[in-house]
Structure 1
Amino acid sequence: MSIKLENVGIAVRDLEATISFFIDLGLEVVVRDTISGAWADTAVGLDGNHTRIAVLKTPDGHGQIELFEYLHPAAIETEPTLPNEVGMHRVAFSVDDIDATLEIASRHGCYPLRGVATYLDIYKLTYLRGPSGIIVMLAQDLKSG
């Protein structure tokens, strides 16, 4: 038996704003679609499931996220996840220049939760709150260049 991670799915309140954020960070849209019908109801477990989706991939082609905006049933707002809460936690990216990446994120109104930390002179890293409250971890390897 083999297994391969296809993507991580994230429900968002504004698909276009979230796509824009991740494109500016360097991801690329590979699929956009509107999903509905009996097959979607069965697969997801929601009657009348109707969503707009976008799948984005990292430049290296190894990572993908699927963003979905519910049209029906209506999306349910929740409090933003805290770093210590059990459940789906964050999406993490390695970046070449964390300061430049944070400048891009700031243009979307997204800032570090507290600041940028250095771990053992190996990584600079931070968590930031992205669109729809998504926690995004950015890490820059200080040993590679």
Structure 2
Amino acid sequence: MAKNKFLRMHNVGIVVESLDEVVSFFSELGLELEGRAVIEGEWAGRVTGLVSQRVEIAMMVTPDGNNRLELSRFLAPAPVADHRNAPVNALGYLRVMFTVDNIDEMLARLGKYGAELVGEVVQYENAYRLCYIRGPEGILIGLAEELT
């Protein structure tokens, strides 16, 4: 009997307060808005376990078309916890990392959207330049510039 296999990652979800602000930030990073919709109904609550929910989502796709970010703004029920300013060694979701062609240029562009460097830009061997930044709402992401 053939074993079922993992096909691919579909998306990473991030819950936000200001969908417009975060969509603009990730658009500047290079992701494209694939679609936006309000999701509600009994079926949606069965998936999330929230019973009755109403959530506005924006699906963003990476330039290669292979990965997505699902940005969600919960209208009901209201969010119950806030992990946005957790330090990088907190348990749970840490960050999503994106490969960029020029880290310095990207930092300047994202700075216009409130992005701030967490530590500093460092070089790992002769392979990468890396950094963590906090974007709108304290969202933590990583940037990697390939050197080879």
TM-score by length of 2: 0.92
Does 2:129 align with 1:111?
no
- Which 4+ stretches in 1 moved above 2 angstroms? none
Does 2:51 align with 1:26?
no
Q: Which piece of structure 1 moves more, 95-104 or 126-135?
A: 126-135
Query: Aligned equivalents of 1:29 and 1:78: distance in 2?
Result: 25
Query: Aligned equivalents of 2:105 and 2:95: distance in 1?
Result: 21
1:42-99 CA distance string (max 9 Å, x none): 1111132111001111111111110000001112352422211111110110000001
Secondary structure at the residue paired with 2:143?
A: strand
Does 2:21 align with 1:12?
no
Query: Aligned equivalents of 1:137 and 1:74: distance in 2?
Result: 28
Distance 1:51 1:78, change over 3 A: same
* Matching residue within 25, 41, 44 for 1:40: 44
Query: Aligned equivalents of 1:13 and 1:39: distance in 2?
Result: 23
Query: Aligned equivalents of 2:67 and 2:108: distance in 1?
Result: 23
Stretches of structure 1 that go unaligned for 5 or more consecutive residues are none
State the 1:2 CA deviation: 2.3
AA in 1 matched with 2:146? D
State the 1:20 CA deviation: 0.2
Query: Aligned equivalents of 1:13 and 1:49: distance in 2?
Result: 16
Contact map agreement 1:13 1:75 (CA 8 A) in 2: no
Identity %: 38
TM-score by length of 1: 0.94
Secondary structure at the residue paired with 1:40?
A: helix
Query: Aligned equivalents of 2:99 and 2:52: distance in 1?
Result: 38
Q: Give the aligned length.
A: 143
AA in 2 matched with 1:55? M
Query: Aligned equivalents of 1:30 and 1:69: distance in 2?
Result: 16
1:107-131 CA distance string (max 9 Å, x none): 0111110211111132111000112
